A and B are shown apart, each in its own frame.
Chain A
Amino acid sequence: MLGTGILKGMVETAKNFAGSYHDPERLTTVEYPEQRIAPKENARQFPMLIHDTEDPMKGLRCVACQICEKECPPQCIYIVKSKDKRADYKGQMQFYPATFDIDISVCMSCQICVEVCPFESIKMDTEFELSNTDRFGGLLIHKEQLAKSNEHYRKIHPADAAASDAVLAAEVAKAQAKAKADAEAKAAKAAAEAKAKADAAVAGTVPAPATSTAPQPTSPPAAPAA
């Protein structure tokens, strides 16, 4: 009959009304500044720059390659490459960002910069209380504010951080293996040369030709730093 549906609905809303008073479990919201919901792992707001050392400015993983700047759809990243180089976490000499600004009033939190970064350097932060009285300067975030430690990243996104750490560890292991192989090759070459010299000295007056037939250690050509 007409009206029964309305009555049914009114009973339902009355149940909600009364229930929300005596059963706090029903309440879907919290009183925000005092109470907070535990952050969700997949949450993301704006990008941050990961650093590994105590001093954030010295340990930034960013090498100012500017891929993120080029890929950013709303063009909110501004990078100036440094003039000099410094050693990165692998000990390789790299550029670093002299300036790294993100305009969070423009950023649309798409995470494309994170996906294109080959250095595990730019990641998404979960900080959302970024309101500011200065809508121009206050929302242009500089690298000092963008730099966050790897521990912070591990805390907010444990799974992603573990994957990122694994990638970096693999890179370091590869670099170390290569360094070791290079060192061995060098040692072997030196030993071979020394041997050849000694042989020549033993053989007599005619020195062996410089084009040594000593087997070169099989080492791949030095790949450009990944």
Chain B
Amino acid sequence: MAEVFQAIDQFPVTLKTWLLGHAAGVMPEWALPLLSAALSITPILAVFPLLFALTTVIERKGLGRIQNRRGPNRVGIPLTNIRLAGFGQFIADGIKSLTKEDIVPRSADKVVHFLAPIALLIPVLLTYSVLPFGRNMVPLDLPQTGLLFFFALGASTELSVFMAGWSSRNKYSLLGAMRAIAQMVSYEIPLILSALTVVMIAGTLSLSGIVESQAEVRFGFLHSWHLFTPWGLVGFFLFLTAAAAEANRTPFDLPEAESEIIAGYFTEYSGFKFAIFFLAEYLGLFAMCGLGITLFLGGWLPPFKFLGFIPSWCWFLGKLVALILLFIWLRGTLPRLRTDQLMGFAWKFLLPMTLINLFVAGLWHLSVTSVPMTVRWIGGFALLAIPYWLLGRGFEAKVGKREYRFAN
């Protein structure tokens, strides 16, 4: 039985080795690394855009239900009456955006306008290369620089956003791009600082190394995910907040605030280029969620040891879907922040909290052997909860119920 489960777990890896073994006899020597790369890339290009397509439908349906509507429930299989509860909607959307006219403003910088969506999609896709999707399943294992590579590529998306905003020659595009730059630069710091705690504890920048550092089993059943520590719990939520801002998700969707600046930096994009922006945005969110899973939620590890029979890539995908659903839920709940609130939140709350979290993680690491477990937990939570309460006071609503003095 165990062999069967292991075979399912390692199926993608064995399939790739088998294909490479057969190709070795047929193909020239120099082509084999290329084939190996292509075989690693293909599942990423197949799975994640499909997940994006399904997410668009799930998001619309979920938001609809949150607002007591039905959401899309018509489009099923074309030319039949099978509706699939609306899950064919993404095909219709895809056909629509593929066949729409591609409009480029007359005074736009045409080369940059054309390059911007590509310059956004490529780094986002490249970030997937270092994520461990399952046991032995990391397309590009960088033992020294995995996390650094991820953040370097994540930061380069800012360039393409500004390319799009600047080249469109449209004030809304430029406003959106400026907002995006301000937001992404501000939130990059808490994002990296909250991820740094894990690097401190795990002692490696390799993402598969970070997953393995969480493989230790506690109390005989519980994997030691970094989430199950005071600094990990706080760090995970700080990371999620910063990731939402990096991925332009509500409540941090100022760069494309529809009700204020039309569509932000991609106002002047239509048809397939718009679809690429849309795709890249969601793929960026998935990559951020994947990184959060790898850093704090044990990557492809199950929470409990006895659930280890479920294939590792199922765990990764399951956690990814859970985080996506959480983001959809947040989108259905929270209104958009104002720019000053956005900046204030990043610099006055997230940055101090991540620094304190780094300090707590350091203490946690130093007191591994000397201090009993309960004291470390209570001390760690106290060190985080008190600054949280103190810093949070400034962000609570100061306005009570409004009294209309002259109307009464």
Could you list which residues of chain A lie within 8 angstroms of chain B, going by C-beta atoms? Answer: 1-3, 5-6, 9-10, 12-14, 16-17, 19-21, 26-29, 31
Contact = CB atoms under 8 A, between A and B. Distances in A.
Nearest to A30: B70
Given A1-B389, A1-B392, A6-B334, A14 B329 contact: yes
Interface string B377-405: 00000000000110111011100000000
A11 to B, nearest CB: 9
Contacts of B395: 2
B334 A27 contact: no
Given A10-B329, A10-B333, A28 B68 contact: yes
B67 interface: yes
Contacts of B333: 6, 9-10, 12-13
B397 A5 contact: yes
Contacts of A27: 68-70
A165 B65 CA distance: 47
Contacts of B62: 17
Contacts of A10: 329-330, 333
A27 B67 CA distance: 9
A31 B388 contact: no
Contacts of A5: 397
B92 to A, nearest CB: 17
Given A5-B397, A21-B65, A29-B69, 17 more contacts: A1-B389, A1-B392, A2-B395, A2-B396, A6-B333, A6-B334, A9-B334, A10-B330, A13-B66, A16-B67, A17-B65, A17-B66, A20-B68, A20-B69, A27-B68, A27-B70, A31-B70
A168 to B, nearest CB: 45
B404 to A, nearest CB: 24
Q: Which of B62, B67, B397 has the most CB of A within 10 A?
A: B67
Nearest to A3: B392
B332 interface: yes
Nearest to B251: A6
Interface of B: 62, 65-70, 73, 329-330, 332-334, 349, 388-389, 391-393, 395-397
Contacts of B329: 10, 13-14, 17
A14 B395 CA distance: 24
30 contacts: A1-B388, A2-B349, A2-B388, A2-B391, A2-B393, A2-B395, A2-B396, A3-B392, A5-B397, A6-B334, A9-B334, A10-B329, A10-B330, A10-B333, A13-B66, A13-B332, A16-B65, A16-B66, A16-B68, A17-B65, A17-B66, A17-B329, A17-B332, A20-B65, A20-B70, A27-B68, A27-B70, A29-B70, A31-B70, A31-B73
Nearest to B397: A5
Contacts of A19: 68
Q: Which of B68, B330, B334 has the most CB of A within 10 A?
A: B68
A9 B329 CA distance: 10
Contacts of B396: 1-2
A52 to B, nearest CB: 43
Given A13-B332, A14-B329, A2 B67 contact: no
A20 B63 CA distance: 11
Contacts of B349: 2
Nearest to B385: A1
Nearest to A11: B333
A9 B335 CA distance: 10
B69 A2 contact: no
B75 to A, nearest CB: 14
Contacts of A17: 62, 65-66, 329, 332
Contacts of A1: 388-389, 392, 396
B10 to A, nearest CB: 38
A10 B66 CA distance: 10
A28 B334 contact: no
A16 B332 CA distance: 10
A9 B332 CA distance: 9
A141 B319 CA distance: 58
A14 B332 CA distance: 9
A9 B393 CA distance: 19
Contacts of B330: 10
A22 to B, nearest CB: 11
B388 to A, nearest CB: 7
B67 to A, nearest CB: 7
Contacts of B388: 1-2
Contacts of A9: 333-334
A16 B333 CA distance: 11
A53 to B, nearest CB: 44
Contacts of A6: 333-334
Nearest to B73: A31
A2 B238 CA distance: 13
Contact of B392 (A2, A12, A26, A29): A2
A13 B396 CA distance: 21
